[in-house]
Chains A and B, each alone.
Chain A
């Protein structure tokens, strides 16, 4: 009788990379839904564009590298990157923005570094930063929430805006925003930043009709939806609690100090605006580019929170999650080196 040989252990948890990635994508669903509710159906178009692009780019790169295509593509990591890029760009950004971002993320940030597991940087965030720096106009052209629009942009207008950069009636996105809003730069973070620049207090800025409580109409709900998804990920043990908790806690502490000392925006504003929650649960927790020790994750998360606060408060950009994550990606090897846990049976050195 011929017996099959194998090395121990002979059992496996049946977890797989593919399952992990799908789990994370599922956890994004509430956030995406809320986002589309407030900002229009454009996010789905962006998703379709991004997923198509990352699939093609990944397949092409795998082919070039002589790797098996489907087994690697199906691990889902590329798709997750696509999803994160799609939800990060403004829903009505021109189609080529997301395509460029997705290509850059997969081809340069991921595959040229050796593919999954070897990339130093979070591909989605690297792509986002590339887009933000290269196409600042398109990348900051967020619409005000739909409910503030006197005449909502139609689905058809959204599609033509994305693909032709003009509504059916020939208005550019900028014009459409102006017509609708009477003002531009409609995200709360933008608004506050601008207001601060004009020496208004946060309170005055927040009194603007664009914002209700907390962090501005729309955005807090988007953030809460991502928080929900994040909690699911924690529950499913897809991610560890260290990074999101450390990041949120550090951001909260910073903004508390800011609020108490300088009359700056409060905790709720910081936690529920911009990309805070998606950053804490979906982006900073990217295992490949994050710290791998538990102590290291606490440091990593906390430093991201601190940087987010500092850049939002003092930097040139309204939001800072992408920058903070990339900066900390660079620090990961150092953090990991100094946070090795104490091995059983070794004195309490390390």
Chain B
């Protein structure tokens, strides 16, 4: 097995796949020697004629320069200088159309020749003696030499390769049809090219220099072989003519069998490729001291009278070039810079020749037919057969059309060298290369955007983290006082209750009790529902039935006389408890009417256990409750033997004269209940004690609560504010409601529910059930959203101090409730219907309505919230003190109006719903 080196030495060539054989058309322009042109009127020298950065201007407008004088100073970043191609005056420095498919303007120096063509001083040398690599690279750099095959890569950068170069490949292939610039250069200047090669070889010290020349240029091949005879390290190879064997990657494959890795450069496989034109320029720079100021350009095509290669000064306009060779434009004339396969059409002929311009092609429409209509791809895959990169152009085309960029990359779009072979062979005349160019550009852009977006995201996340941190800190600051407060809170609650009781006379004491009970019951129901959705239908049916029963019972029990009611309620409670003793350990305690009261207290306490039920109690009319309690107690005592515990007796005593005391007693009872249940006593006691103490703290807590509430539920705010307005009368109630909501949420505990259920059943009247239901809804919401709880709790704490806030909190709770427990609403609705009279019920109804509205239409939420407000308004009737802080009087009015409207709506809705539910 021969080594690669031996194979190369023996002249072995490899093949690349694909490739095409378009008409060569080279004989048009390679029959005459390289001609020269008359000096043009002016030269346009773009500062940038290569890949890399501009040099810095060294001349000013009006300066006179000599031929070969440097015009720009190279800086870093692959920048190259440009030189004056002839002596003359700088007449302008401005952006001019450049040699680019879009003729995008580039800063250019306009030089008007003086006609003398006077050289500046040139440093010539006979040999490389005394020049180290750095000096040579410097010379190449300052001569402004860039790759002259097309890409324009700065030659000094390549020469300065950090990697070991095994093979210097010299590209004399010139596979593009029509172009003969390199061909003629090799024929006429083979020696100089070889000298240039030797310069590069002395810098890079490769094992071999391989010259590739297509076998359609026998003269050039012979000339090069002759010139290279003396150097055994230079191997001149004639390679089969096939487009695009002059492509860098293809030539490397043909001459060395190596493949440049995807995304890599030839140096990665120890190869460096130079174009013969570049090497000629290197030779001129090193030996003659001449910078790169002119190059060979093929001017050809059927519209050119004298197609030929010419020495063109850089900066010569295409117009000068083609008219000097004789040019007769045809219809739809195209002027192509470069060859027919990879060149680009010029939008104007006033574009200068630059370092990479190897051909100006002005074809007529017969020799290069104008592209036809694109037809459907028939998947013949002639393109794949032609592709020198073994891509699947046909598949790429589908993906490009579908903008499937991932797929495009998967199918190696970026390995496409845009040689145009696929488009050339496509029977459907699909402009494949154009599709790829567009897709590449889009992918590049997307990647850029992605990078940008990622940066933005990072920034955003950093900011978010910071804000969260800050918020947390703030919350922590607020929480500490809030937590220390619960005892106080409760105290406040009970205080509030007391006050309320005083204010509010008899009517609904019983109702309050009932309400509480019902709420509990409803809760129980709903909680039962929650776990099992499948049972929902069944439950609903049950509920309906219950609702009916309630109605009947209500009618029977006749709520009108308050005391009776209270008594009845108490009795009912007691009975219920009795009946349900077995079920509930708690209930079993109360054989007796008093006990009923106590039981109520206990129940409340239990609620507190998990949370805040006492507040619930406050919801109903506290006074009535107190009264009822008193009555119940009295009866109980009378009827009864064993007066229960301190709490009961105490409360009895007090109640007669002082409703407040009753409230206090109730609180105590509750506390005791708790104790019994939990052993929580100290806390409750503390609560009681604390109550009166510290209104300021409460205020603070209220503030915190407000803040939290706002944060947590911004949508809810709207709802809440109106609510607060509406409940001017009874701010405490709102507070209570909030508390209840909280409590329920906490409940979670199932025993509590059990207690509640029986109770609720017993209470026939039940206007307040609606209220209860609302509370339940709220509670559920809380359950669902536990994080929200702390927000609400502080609110509750604040209650006494800041009723409005409490109201707000209540509203929030309600809102949440709606969201979380949709089934619960169904329960409540029927209830609501039954109690048209009672304002509290209206409140409840409002809650329900809200909930329903949310369910049905989430956008409608805003509407519903006002509804809520209105109802509360109804029952409470407006009171100016309690109005929301937030709202101005005008707002209030508006709110009132809205409220009215909403009320109407709510009622309608409620009716409808009831109809639905009951029917």
Contacts and interface: CB of A to CB of B under 8 A. Distances in A.
Given A8-B423, A10-B343, A117-B428, 13 more contacts: A8-B420, A9-B433, A10-B368, A12-B371, A14-B369, A287-B378, A288-B379, A292-B379, A292-B395, A343-B262, A344-B389, A344-B415, A345-B262
Given A4-B333, A16-B429, A116-B378, A11 B177 contact: yes
Residue of A6, A10, A340 with most partner-chain B CB within 10 A? A10
A64 interface: no
Contact of A292 (B346, B347, B384, B421): B384
A151 interface: no
A343 B391 contact: yes
A343 B417 CA distance: 12
A133 to B, nearest CB: 27
Residue of A77, A293, A294, A344 with most partner-chain B CB within 10 A? A344
Interface stretch (B253-261, B507-515, B760-768): B253-261
B264 A345 contact: yes
Contacts of B249: 344-345
Nearest to B23: A11
Contacts of B334: 3-6, 10
Interface in B327-353: 329, 332-336, 338, 340-349
Interface of B: 16-17, 20, 22-23, 177, 249, 253, 259-264, 329, 332-336, 338, 340-349, 361, 363, 368-373, 375-382, 384-385, 388-392, 394-395, 411-412, 415, 418, 420-421, 423-429, 431, 433-434, 437
A75 interface: yes
A77 B378 CA distance: 10
A150 interface: no
B916 to A, nearest CB: 49
Q: Which 4 A-B pairs have the closest CB atoms?
A: A9-B420, A117-B376, A345-B262, A287-B380
Given A77-B378, A292-B381, A292-B395, A7 B20 contact: no
B428 A17 contact: yes
B378 A6 contact: no
Interface string A69-81: 0011001010000
Nearest to A292: B381
A293 B392 contact: yes
A240 interface: yes
A345 B389 CA distance: 8
A4 B345 contact: yes
A213 interface: no
Interface string A299-342: 00000000000000000000000000000000000001000111
A40 B437 CA distance: 56
A71 B373 contact: yes
A118 interface: yes
A183 interface: no
A261 interface: no
Contact of B346 (A3, A75, A293, A344): A3
B343 A8 contact: yes
Nearest to A2: B333
A279 interface: no
A9 B423 contact: yes
A15 B17 CA distance: 20
Given A3-B333, A3-B346, A116-B378, A11 B412 contact: no
B371 A6 contact: yes
Contacts of A13: 20, 22, 424-427
Contact of A340 (B263, B372, B411): B411
A3 B415 contact: no
Contact of A20 (B380, B418, B420): B380
A218 to B, nearest CB: 33
A115 interface: yes
A165 B746 CA distance: 89
B347 A5 contact: yes
A3 B347 contact: yes
Interface residues of A, number: 42
Contacts of B385: 240, 294
B376 A116 contact: yes
A342 B333 contact: no
A17 B390 contact: no
A124 B389 CA distance: 35
B381 A293 contact: yes
A17 B259 contact: no
A128 to B, nearest CB: 21
Contacts of A12: 369, 371-372, 423-424, 426, 429
A9 B341 contact: yes
A11 B379 contact: no
Interface in A258-280: none
Nearest to B431: A7
Contacts of A345: 249, 259-264, 389, 415
A343 B373 contact: no
B380 to A, nearest CB: 4
Nearest to B261: A345
Contacts of A344: 16-17, 249, 253, 259-260, 262, 388-390, 415
A6 B22 contact: no
24 contacts: A3-B347, A3-B349, A4-B370, A6-B370, A8-B344, A8-B433, A10-B345, A13-B426, A17-B376, A71-B373, A71-B375, A72-B376, A75-B375, A77-B378, A116-B375, A116-B378, A288-B379, A292-B379, A292-B392, A292-B395, A294-B385, A344-B259, A344-B389, A345-B249
Contact of A10 (B341, B347, B437): B341
B499 to A, nearest CB: 80
Nearest to A114: B376
B338 to A, nearest CB: 8
Nearest to A75: B375
Contacts of A287: 378-381
Contacts of A77: 378
Contacts of A4: 332-334, 345, 370
Interface in A153-178: none
A16 B424 CA distance: 11
A5 B101 CA distance: 9
A281 to B, nearest CB: 15
A63 interface: no
B264 to A, nearest CB: 7
A274 to B, nearest CB: 27
B340 A10 contact: yes
Contacts of B389: 343-345
Nearest to B319: A1
Contacts of A294: 384-385
Contacts of B260: 344-345
B381 A15 contact: no
A3 to B, nearest CB: 5
B346 A17 contact: no
B103 to A, nearest CB: 10
Contact of A115 (B332, B376, B421): B376
Given A1-B333, A4-B345, A343-B412, A11 B424 contact: yes
A313 B423 CA distance: 45
Given A1-B349, A10-B368, A117 B378 contact: yes
